[in-house]
Chains A and B, each alone.
Chain A
Amino acid sequence: AQKVTQAQTEISVVEKEDVTLDCVYETRDTTYYLFWYKQPPSGELVFLIRRNSFDEQNEISGRYSWNFQKSTSSFNFTITASQVVDSAVYFCALTSGFGNEKLTFGTGTRLTIIP
């Protein structure tokens, strides 16, 4: 069985502050993929990043960065210099085994950026 835990239900920060969203996962497979999705107030789900279990390099994309640590089974997401447009619910997800059919989501973290 696989599981994703996002312990932070809601976070509020003032605009321009940095914020880190935590994601801890559980899986028995050695090959797996981790994802982050963003769900803005409009409701759609936007894909942000995919990382496979063999690639522990951190990733940076503009103000976004991701820290993957297999030793702690974590895949944390940091937003630097947050902006109001970053306000959304963020989901971490995991898939393992042969295919990516069974994508397991965390319960999400609602991020509010206060102007």
Chain B
Amino acid sequence: DAGITQSPRHKVTETGTPVTLRCHQTENHRYMYWYRQDPGHGLRLIHYSYGVKDTDKGEVSDGYSVSRSKTEDFLLTLESATSSQTSVYFCAISEILAGGRADTQYFGPGTRLTVL
């Protein structure tokens, strides 16, 4: 199993409060990703990182920011949480192949976030 941990695993917060989710990897993989999973939508990409301090937006990035100051950590921040951000959040990692393509993505255990 890929060495990926997410913290916290469960969180309940109130509307308007800031929330930070952490993803930590021990694989030294270059790429890291944040997804959210909602019923009827599958998983959707929020942001991803292709190196330290290098990030880009995904499909549903509004209301989220990310930071990556070390290879092993990728943080997802909800600046002011809303009820629509209640979801299960998954972190994923992947290595880079020859030619610059990213390899298969492996997922962390997920964080269940409830915004009341």
Binding site for B on A (CB under 8 A): 4, 35, 37, 43-45, 47, 50, 91, 93, 98-103, 105-108
A91 to B107, CA, bound (A): 13
CB distance from A91 to the nearest CB of B (A): 6
How many inter-chain residue pairs (CB < 8 Å) link A and B? Answer: 56
Binding site for A on B (CB under 8 A): 31, 33, 40-45, 48, 50, 56, 58-59, 88, 90, 94, 100-107, 109-110
| Of B56, B100, B104, the contact of A47 (CB 8 Å cutoff) | B104
Residues from chain B with a CB closer than 8 A to the CB of A93 are 43
Main secondary structure of the interface of A (DSSP, over half): loop
| Of B44, B102, B104, B107, the contact of A101 (CB 8 Å cutoff) | B102
| Of B43, B103, B110, the contact of A91 (CB 8 Å cutoff) | B43
Contact present for B100 and A103 (CB under 8 Å)? no
Contact present for B107 and A45 (CB under 8 Å)? yes
Contact present for A50 and B100 (CB under 8 Å)? no
| Of B100, B104, B109, the contact of A44 (CB 8 Å cutoff) | B109
A47 to B100, CA, bound (A): 21
Of chain A, the residue at the smallest CB distance from B49 is A101
Main secondary structure of the interface of B (DSSP, over half): strand
Residues from chain A with a CB closer than 8 A to the CB of B106 are 47
* Extra 18 A-B pairs, beta carbons < 8 Å, given A44-B107, A99-B101, A99-B102: A4-B42, A44-B109, A45-B90, A45-B107, A47-B105, A91-B43, A99-B50, A100-B31, A101-B31, A101-B48, A101-B50, A101-B102, A103-B45, A103-B105, A105-B43, A105-B44, A106-B42, A107-B40
Pull 13 A–B residue pairs with CB atoms less than 8 Å apart, ordered by A.
A4-B42, A43-B109, A45-B90, A45-B107, A45-B110, A47-B105, A47-B106, A98-B101, A99-B102, A100-B31, A100-B94, A101-B33, A105-B42
